[in-house]
Structure 1
């Protein structure tokens, strides 16, 4: 029984639960909205599929690059190949960027199945482990490997009517080695409450995962022992369960899909910076899971996708000095519509390496005339942060 089956079996029982309590259906719908909201907001979903498949490794060469590609605006950095030793770029978005035009023809590009990263010019994908039925969030681990949060139905095919307290359902925190084999799997579900993976870090020499718990605040989950410590200083910052959260290098990011507000705090609960809600008309909201904090915790980078008119999308990278609140932007790409569709706007992922930001973005031929593999359209740009 998958998540959608569970929703159907508990809907009647969930109706008897007080409105303040999240039923299983609302929890699962929230995760589906989070997986697909980029596609709704931008008309171009470019996040990685999290279904199982064989591991993939493809070396990009000049012969695989499409021509002509999506244009970079005047003054934009030229695409460059990143150093293979640089931190991996997480290709972290949900779903393919494939659309059907008015004539019924599919256009866009597909991503490899699995947990997809980019190291230098090498695309790698690792299978979703059998320890979970589906992946909610995942991250590369600093020393190599991966961590993910996913659900596991322990009684597939069983009809159940126990509402938000549904039994035989686990939400597992799983770590994987670089080759994809499971090194740790632990149930972190609390019945009747939702949980999201916000980040990884180290406290007192112990590796921890940061988990955002509905009505339970942000907790540091010790990966070795399973013990959890609630970061009470962040209670006010993580009070809205509809927001997305990310903890990176001592900085908490919170993003609202309702107001488009993006905020940053340190882990003592001190506000560092706020992007006002409702940015310029035509800009889409930024989300916490697509922003990146520099290793020193002093700078923040996130994409801005603007639609100056119905036939054009412009992607830029915003770089914020968190100490002074100054913001500068760098142009990444400009995409024109194919018929009535804008395909290939936005970025695929970004990562810091010292003072340089590695940005991966799709560069489709213009006009696009088919569905391409990621290796055919991937472009990388290195942007200095100063």
Structure 2
């Protein structure tokens, strides 16, 4: 069975004798191969030139390191202003920030962490020390002291300063400030000081406002969120269940479109960040660990899908700020 039949052997010999062998030496083979390789290299080189011409600017930006003359140098590429500005709480200490500079905070200024990693200080304006501050997308600030409301323009000039009767500032836009006082959310018109009551609710443990929605955490259920409509006060969303492992929620921040809610909360030994879908209360991302329970969490949305969290330690030297930015899919 291992031998080829006689008829097959005869056919193979006939074909072999009729086949013309390769007329040349092995050197001829190598010579032809080198010619083909050169032609391929020329074509590939021309293609590479065309591609590099198309992306030359981007290649140069990556290949050449950016040279700066000092810590105040502007970044090489412009970044769109965030939808929400990230202002740190009134803390004291020395902080190392992502742009590799060290900034000292003495409690007499408000610090803002920019998307480029810079820490910018805004000095207090007015007779009272600010207790809460909101950054406007236009570049100005709205700040509340114990009894006074102050509006500072993007150029640092004082635009408004008036008595309000007190209250915690939880939000602001170019037309109104929103103050929480004695269980009532009040809208305060910046133009003339007119006020109206929006929602009555027991003092919350955490609260935020965006558009016509109010997110809060009550003290009875410290691990569940609730979102209310400012139009009629009804509940329009919130946590479907208490957050797993949560001991208390410390901060909430609604996305600019009001469809997502960033939640900072404590577990036993660590602080975490979660994003919920407002309508269903279901998580859109797995929890991220951000810091320890001794820190204070600050949240801000760069746009409707990108949120940044930073945990701020207080009262210690050379503390590092490590912002965490995540992109959320709807």
Same fold (TM over 0.5): yes
The 1-side partners of 2:144 and 2:84 are apart by: 19
Residue 187 of structure 1 and its aligned partner are, at CA, apart by 0.5
- State the alpha-carbon separation in 2 of the partners of residues 346 and 82 from structure 1: 29
**Cα pair 2:274 2:283 within 8 Å, conserved:** yes
Are the counterparts in 2 of residues 321 and 327 from structure 1 also a CA contact under 8 Å? yes
Distance change (3 Å), C-alpha of 1:210 and 1:334: closer
1:218 lines up with 2:181 in the alignment: no
TM-superposed CA distance for 1:94, in Å, is 4.3
Candidates 286, 296, 310, aligned match of 2:249: 286
Residue 360 of structure 1 is matched in structure 2 by: 310
Partner of residue 273, structure 2? 317
Change (3 A) 1:350 1:112: farther
3-state SS of 2:279 partner: coil
Bigger CA radius of gyration: 2
Where in structure 2 are the equivalents of 1:142-161 lying within 5 Å? 142-151=137-146
Q: Work out whether 1:298 is the aligned partner of 2:259.
A: yes
Secondary structure of the residue aligned to 1:180 is coil
Shift of 1:381: 2.8
Instruction: Judge conservation of contact 1:88–1:119 (CA < 8 Å) in 2.
Output: no
Give the Cα–Cα distance (whole angstroms) in 1 for the partners of residues 92 and 131 of structure 2.
16
Q: Secondary structure at the match of 2:284?
A: strand
- Pairwise mapping of residues 126-275 of structure 1 onto structure 2 (< 5 A)? 126-132=122-128, 134-151=129-146, 171-189=147-165, 195-201=167-173, 207-214=175-182, 217-231=184-198, 234-235=199-200, 238=201, 240-241=202-203, 243-260=205-222, 261-268=224-231, 269-275=233-239
Size of the alignment, in residue pairs?
244
SS at 2:188 equivalent = strand
Separation in structure 2 between the aligned mates of residue 84 and residue 320 of structure 1, nearest angstrom: 25
What corresponds to 2:317 in structure 1?
371
Secondary structure of the corresponding residue to residue 221 of structure 2: coil
**Aligned to 1:383, what secondary structure does the other structure show?**
strand
Show CA shifts across 1:156-210 (max 9, x none): xxxxxxxxxxxxxxx1111012343321101111xxxx522221247xxxx1111
Q: Which has the higher contact order (CA 8 A, sep 6+)?
A: 1
Distance 1:86 1:145 in 2: 13
* Unpaired runs of at least 5, structure 1: 1-56, 62-80, 99-108, 152-170, 336-341, 364-369
Aligned to 1:380: 323
Structure 2 unmatched runs, 5+: 1-69, 95-102
Over aligned residues, Cα RMSD in angstroms?
A: 3.5
